[in-house]
Structure 1
Amino acid sequence: MTPVRIAPSILSADFARLGEEVRAIDEAGADWIHVDVMDGHFVPNISFGPAVMKAIRPVTTKPFDVHLMIAPVDPYLEAFAEAGADCITVHVEAGPHIHRTVQRIKALGCRAGVVLCPGTPAKMLDYLLDTVDLVLVMSVNPGFGGQHFIPSQLKKIAAIRKMIDAGGRAIDLEVDGGIDPETARACIEAGADALVAGTAVFRGGPAAYAANIAALRGG
């Protein structure tokens, strides 16, 4: 099985030192850099846009794992691809034609992912799984950092793991929300192979980042 990938969410970084923070988590062992984009419409908060992401792109060679919490999402795909996204992940509810959105992401040269909110059933993947590179399970309702993990999502993670294994394609199964060393173990046991963490990584400042990431891996 692929070792779990850790994708620190820069939403929890010190925005006054964003470039330095990205460099620090890279050096601390992050596998991906998770970029949470929020529009104040699809989710309650506003984070940042492609210009900020483009500014920090030269700081690291690690993949940018870009989670677009915006609707409608289609008009912004090209801007985030041009700003340096490696994977663009969109919510199944964020546009009228999710297959077209996935096709567009791939045409822009990025990996394509789909996101399921806590209330969105795994069944939504029935006719999507053969087209995507990543599935992101939200274990909190999107829009805020620091929320508590929703335990019911473990059953969803396990169900999606079975779907992926049955399909025979290499698809990343990522979990985002309330991830700490304890919930990380539960997600990995349920079948996740990538974890997004904000508070749990950035707690304690740069000197603690490597230990925080290792703790999420179970080390």
Structure 2
Amino acid sequence: MLHTLCCTALLKLCAPNHFVPNLTIGAPVIESLRKHTKAYLDCHLMVTNPLDYVDPLAKAGASGFTFHIEVAKEYWQELIRSIKSKGMRPGVALKPTTPVEEVFSLVEAEDPVELVLVMTVEPGFGGQKFMPEMMEKVRALRNKYPALDIEVDGGLGPSTIDAAASAGANCIVAGSSIFGATEPAEVINILRKSVEGAQQN
């Protein structure tokens, strides 16, 4: 599954002075997009209170709901059940400083997450430099869970995609490298070919 490379919108929702300092977009934007597309709308919530966003995002038409393990350690089972009950696909994200082992129980749960997002930059701001050391987390997840969707977010572009793809990432989030490119379609094609090629090996 190549989420952001297959007609998908990745929407990062942030609350000021909470998990990250900046504010981006919320349910009204998703609702507006949903009126014009059937694409998979993949929402990455960088907020301290993700439970509060389940109903609004579901009503707006979100497809995927990825929350951060760092803020949901006490109630992730309830959160996953709530996400699934609203017809959305649950995912869990982890910051660079969070050990990958912290998400194992969520992947192996009776009601599991269906995607793990490994942040390859510190969450909160675009345009940061890719952290290649995070590929160890991707490899650990791929070795342990061969069928799991593993997403990477932060600093992905033509110069870093091969490292992510060869480590086992199959869902790629790319922002600055695409929107800042002279030929965005060409960059998307490079990313897609790298991931598809790694999956065939």
> Scaled by the length of structure 1, what TM-score is found?
0.82
1:65 and 1:86 in contact (8 A); partners too: yes
1:5 paired residue number? 2
Q: Does 1:98 align with 2:76?
A: yes
* Residue deviations 1:111-162 (CA, integer Å, cap 9, x gap): 1000011011110122111301111000001000000011110111100111
Specify the alignment match of 2:199 in structure 1: none
- 1:208-219 superposed matches below 5 A: 208-218=183-193
Asked whether the 8 Å contact 1:115–1:137 carries over to 2, the reply is yes
Q: Who is 1:201 aligned against? A: 178
Q: 2:157, 2:174 within 8 Å by CA — same for their partners in 1?
A: yes
For residue 91 of structure 2, give the secondary structure of its aligned residue in structure 1: strand
By how many angstroms is 1:174 displaced?
A: 0.5
CA distance, structure 2, for counterparts of residue 6 and residue 50 of structure 1: 19
Task: Give the SS at the match of 2:25.
Answer: coil
Distance 1:216 1:146 in 2: 17
Please list the CA deviations of residues 59-102 of structure 1 after superposition, one character each: whole Å capped at 9, or x if unmatched: 22110011011111111111011111111000012233111111
Q: Which runs of 5+ in 1 are unaligned?
A: 8-28
User: What is the total number of aligned residue pairs between the two structures?
Assistant: 189
Tell me what 1:122 maps to: 100
Amino acid at match of 1:64: L
Q: Verify: 1:150 aligned to 2:135, yes or no.
A: no
Identity among equivalent positions (%) equals: 38
Equivalent runs, 1:36-185 vs 2, <5 Å? 36-40=12-16, 41-95=18-72, 96-130=74-108, 131-165=112-146, 170-185=147-162
Task: Name the counterpart of 1:35.
Answer: 11
| Distance (whole Å) between structure 2 residues aligned to residue 60 and residue 202 of structure 1 | 20
* TM superposition score normalised by structure 2: 0.89
CA separation of 1:31 and 1:172: change in aligned 2, threshold 3 A: farther
| Structure 1 residue 6: Cα displacement | 4.9
CA contact (8 A) 1:37 1:49 kept: yes
Q: Which moved more, 1:65-74 or 1:55-64?
A: 55-64
Note the residue ranges of structure 2 that are not aligned, 5 or more in a row: 195-201
Larger relative CO (CA 8 A, sep 6+): 1 or 2? Answer: 1
Aligned-partner SS, 1:65: strand
SS of the aligned residue for 1:128 comes to helix
The amino acid that maps onto 1:38 is: C
- Shift in Å at residue 209 of structure 1? 2.4
Output the aligned Cα RMSD.
Answer: 1.5
1:185·1:218 contact (CA, 8 Å) conserved in 2? no
